[in-house]
Amino acid sequence: MSTAPQLVVHRDKELMAEAAAARLITKIVDAQASRGSASVVLTGGRNGNGLLAALASAPARDAIDWTRLDLWWGDERFLPEGDPDRNVTQAREALLDAVPLDPGRVHAMPASDGPYGSDVDAAAAAYAAELAKAAGPENHGTVPTFDVLMLGVGPDTHVASLFPELPAVRETDRTVVGVHGAPKPPPTRVTLTLPAIRAAREVWLLAAGEDKAGAAAIALSGAGEIQAPAAGAYGRQRTLWLLDAAAASQLPRTLYPPASP
């Protein structure tokens, strides 16, 4: 069952990143207090990395027990380990190397020079198996119930590596798939599917900049998920769009409260 999206619009992308980082700290601390640990799915791109950098410099970051945090990824570029274009490489630089995480709870997607070599479909299947292993009896199916799953929204409405009209966005059974022929480089990727994304308690969609305004307007106007994958991304308890004023510029003001900072 989908949850109606809630919108928060910030003045600019810097304020959006800082506010989202503060919001994430609160979510993680609350989850750790109530369940002992927390589970978060990270996103790459400029907004995802901006949020991580803001979190790294946030005074409240030490409120998190980093050893009781599981980190997953929504998608990954299928490139060699340590490649600067890999989401995990950028996340390590922005935040992960600066905090005392348990390495066993940092679930990076396989690299193209890893145990599966250049077989992206085998790499995707292995990540699906890792998710299934982490799913407990209290979870829904073969993925853990993530506390927060974050997604950047592309100018074409793609989220993770689910691009409009391509096979991955049509997947209804598998939780992770290999992507061949993505319309933006690199063409080969690993991605969570919509069923896996919808297992999260909360899904946060991040969009900042004028180039994201059209995508936000399409996804929030009732478009179908095959044509606009961002429209199909929602959480079990909450779906939150975090935007800056430029990305919200084509949305009707009736969609979000005028008091948004």
**CB neighbours of residue 91 within 10 Å:** 21
Q: Can you name the residues that pair with 243 across neighbouring β-strands?
A: 9, 207
Q: What is the pLDDT of residue 141?
A: 79
What pLDDT, in 10s, does the model give residues 174-193? Answer: 999 999 999 999 999 999 99
Q: What is the pLDDT of residue 140?
A: 66
Q: List the beta strands (DSSP E) in 50-129.
A: 69-73, 75-77
Give the pLDDT band of residue 28 (cuts 50, 70, 90): very high
CA–CA distance, 97 with 147 (Å, rounded to integer): 22
Q: What is the pLDDT of residue 258?
A: 61
Give the pLDDT band of residue 42 (cuts 50, 70, 90): very high
Q: What is the pLDDT of residue 2?
A: 67
